[in-house]
């Protein structure tokens, strides 16, 4: 007997330590029972201490990755992660428009938690103008929401206004991950604004841990997996949020400094 699994795609950078980027996406797809495919855009060399080098894939190679997947697979949802620069965003946008990979979840990755830049500064405009309007769901963190809307966020009300602005800019549904800084807060809050106008906050406990690499990647990958399984957007977001909460809560000991979350939890 052959079992059928919904197929999902991550268009992202590979991170050698396995905690973030494409590796976090593929761990998540696997655990969420979707078959994971990948278009590698870049590779970073790093470990739990940080990122130490990176290279980007050549255009002809990325085009071939897209073509090979489109020729053979029936992908039901896709997500983007690290896209590095303007040229890369254009390549991804052109390929995504050329083929049918289902709804697109855009994780507008700009910088890692530990301060390594994953998007060149001059690429922000292309991300806003070309990629954002393709997003069925966009998943900025607090900092990315400020950059995308060009407005400082100081309050819940500012977050709600940023979400409205992101929808006006072309994203269909938005989840903005709230600010959470050790010592400043005992809870985390994500704000969701859906295409229908429905909006809500998802509150959860703050875990004071050094093991939270790849939380944003995993959240957007879990949303992608749940959409590939035909869940509606609200269900997909709620399931994904719970998935990441558990994966942070039940951390695993890998590496010596900033570790991964626990996808098995």
Ligand X SMILES: Cc1ncc(COP(=O)(O)O)c(N)n1
Instruction: Yes or no: say if 6 and 224 are a contact pair by the CB < 8 Å rule.
Output: no
Contact segment (CB under 6 A) with ligand X among 92-100, 121-129, 150-158, 212-220 equals: 212-220
The C-alpha atoms of residue 88 and residue 65 are separated, in whole angstroms, by 14
The C-alpha atoms of residue 263 and residue 244 are separated, in whole angstroms, by 8
Q: Which does 207 bind (CB under 5 to 8 A by kind): ligand X, ligand ATP, none?
A: ligand ATP
Of residues 153, 173, 169, the one with CA closest to residue 161: 153
| Dihedral-angle region of residue 33 (phi above 0 means left; psi in -120 to 50 means alpha; beta otherwise) | left
Subset of residues 225 to 244 that bind ligand X, contact rule: CB under 6 A = none
Q: Is residue 113 close enough to count as binding ligand X by CB under 6 A?
A: yes
How many chain residues are in contact with ligand ATP, going by CB under 6 A?
A: 22
In whole angstroms, the minimum distance from the beta carbon of 65 to ligand X comes to 16
In the bound state with ligand X, the residue whose beta carbon lies nearer, of 12 and 192, is 12
In whole angstroms, the minimum distance from the beta carbon of 177 to ligand ATP comes to 4
Q: Which does 219 bind (CB under 5 to 8 A by kind): ligand X, ligand ATP, none?
A: ligand ATP
Number of H helices, E strands in the chain: 8, 11
Q: Which does 180 bind (CB under 5 to 8 A by kind): ligand ATP, ligand X, none?
A: ligand ATP
Binding mask 21-60 for ligand ATP (x = CB under 6 A): ----------------------------------------
DSSP string, 14-61: EETTSSSHHHHHHHHHHHTT-EEEEEEEEEEEEETTEEEEEEE--HHH
């Amino acid at each position: 007997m052959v079992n059928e699994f919904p197929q999902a795609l991550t268009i992202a950078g590979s991170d050698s330590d396995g905690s973030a980027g494409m590796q976090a996406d593929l761990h998540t797809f696997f655990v969420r029972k979707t078959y994971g495919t990948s278009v590698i855009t870049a590779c970073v060399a790093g470990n739990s201490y940080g990122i130490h080098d990176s290279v980007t894939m050549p255009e002809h190679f990325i085009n071939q990755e897209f073509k090979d997947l489109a020729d053979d697979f029936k992908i039901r949802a896709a997500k983007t992660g690290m896209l590095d620069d303007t040229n890369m965003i254009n390549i991804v946008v052109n390929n995504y428009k050329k083929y049918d990979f289902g709804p697109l979840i855009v994780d507008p990755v700009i910088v890692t938690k530990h301060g390594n830049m994953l998007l060149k500064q001059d690429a922000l405009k292309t991300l806003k103008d070309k990629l954002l309007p393709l997003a069925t769901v966009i998943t900025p963190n607090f900092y990315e929401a400020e950059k995308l809307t060009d407005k400082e966020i100081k309050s819940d009300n500012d977050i709600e206004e940023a979400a409205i602005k992101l929808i006006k800019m072309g994203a269909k549904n938005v989840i903005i991950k709230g600010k959470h800084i050790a010592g400043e807060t005992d809870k985390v809050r994500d704000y969701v604004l859906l295409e229908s106008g429905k909006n809500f906050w998802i509150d959860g406990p703050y875990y004071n841990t050094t093991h939270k690499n790849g939380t944003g990647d995993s959240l957007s990958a879990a949303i992608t997996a749940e959409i590939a399984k035909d869940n509606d957007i609200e269900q997909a977001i709620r399931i994904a949020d719970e998935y990441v909460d558990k994966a942070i809560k039940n951390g695993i000991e890998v590496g010596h400094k900033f570790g991964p979350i626990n996808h098995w939890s």
